[in-house]
Amino acid sequence: MPTHLTPRPLTEDEVRAIERLAHSRTEPARTVERAQIVWRAHRGARVPAIARALGITEATARTWLKRFEAGGMAGLKDAPRSGRPPVYTAAEAGEVVAASLTKPDELGLPFGSWTLDRLTVYLHEQKGLGIGRTRVGEILRTEGLRWRTHETWFGERVDPDFVEKRGRSSRSTRRHLRIVR
């Protein structure tokens, strides 16, 4: 049978912070639940009653009470998790963002706007970043940049020299006759 957990006395600041978190509607649900565990224990509730009231296991309640006792408010935060470290450094992600915000014609490239494929090829060939198309898109999204396709079949072309670069139309294309009224 586990021994009773008796929480340590809380400071005034901890009481205010725990009460605010326990009744919050905007904080993450995990944080609110952990604060409610501590809040109920502070008000005299035992672990089995806390677990029943919050719909969690007694082991979970004990874990968060022990972590709060050991680390205070910081003990309620998620611990770092294991996993694969980020493959690309912040500097490399910065290179991707900087390149995407630069106009291709300023870099001497033969097109007027970026696509993910063009940007990926540029980063690989010119910057030496072996970064995939999908990852380029993810980096741009995490930086708050929306990817838009500027070239369309309708409306004005982004490249002002498009007509000259395009060259003559194919001979198989019929000429349109103008109707004069």
Residue 134 lies inside a defined structural domain of this protein = yes
Whether 54 is covered by a domain: the verdict is yes
**125/69 same-domain check:** no
Whether residue 178 has pLDDT greater than 80: no
- Residue 124: half-sphere exposure toward Cβ, Cα within 13 Å: 12
Q: What span, in angstroms and rounded, lies between the C-alpha atoms of 140 and 143?
A: 5
Same domain, 65 and 95: no
- Cβ contacts of residue 21 below 8 Å, gap of 6+? 27, 31, 32, 34, 35, 76
Q: Which amino acid is at 142?
A: T
Residue 169 is predicted with a pLDDT of: 65
pLDDT, position 90: 87
Check whether residue 71 and residue 102 sit in a common domain: no
Task: Give the residue with greater pLDDT, 168 vs 20.
Answer: 20
Residues 69 and 24 in one domain: yes
Place of tokens 């109920």: 40
User: What pTM did the predictor assign?
Assistant: 0.49
Query: Looking at the domain assignment, is residue 160 inside a domain?
Result: no
Q: What percent of the chain has pLDDT over 70?
A: 79
Separation of alpha carbons 72 and 38, rounded Å? 10
* Number of domains present in the structure of the chain: 2
Q: With respect to residue 168, please indicate whether it lies within any of the assigned structural domains.
A: no
Structure tokens of 121? 């090829």
What does the pLDDT read at residue 96?
92
Q: Give pLDDT, residue 146.
A: 73
Does residue 129 belong to any structural domain of this protein? yes
Query: Does residue 106 belong to any structural domain of this protein?
Result: yes
Residue 65 has pLDDT above 90, yes or no: yes
Residue 180 pLDDT: 73
- Classify residue 16: in a domain, yes or no: yes
The radius of gyration of the chain's CA atoms, rounded to the nearest angstrom, is: 30
Chain centroid, CA 103 distance in Å? 25
Does 144 fall in a domain? yes
- Same domain? For 30 and 66 the reply is yes
Same-domain check for residues 16 and 51? yes
Report, as an integer, the average pLDDT of 138-162.
67
Identify the domain containing residue 103 by its residue range. Answer: 90-151
Mean pLDDT of 123-129: 92
Q: Answer yes or no: do 57 and 32 share one domain.
A: yes
Are 71 and 106 in a shared domain? Answer: no
d(CA 34, CA 68): 9
122 versus 7: which is more confidently predicted?
A: 122
111's CB contacts (< 8 A; 6+ apart) are: 104, 105, 118, 159
pLDDT over 60 at 14, yes or no = yes
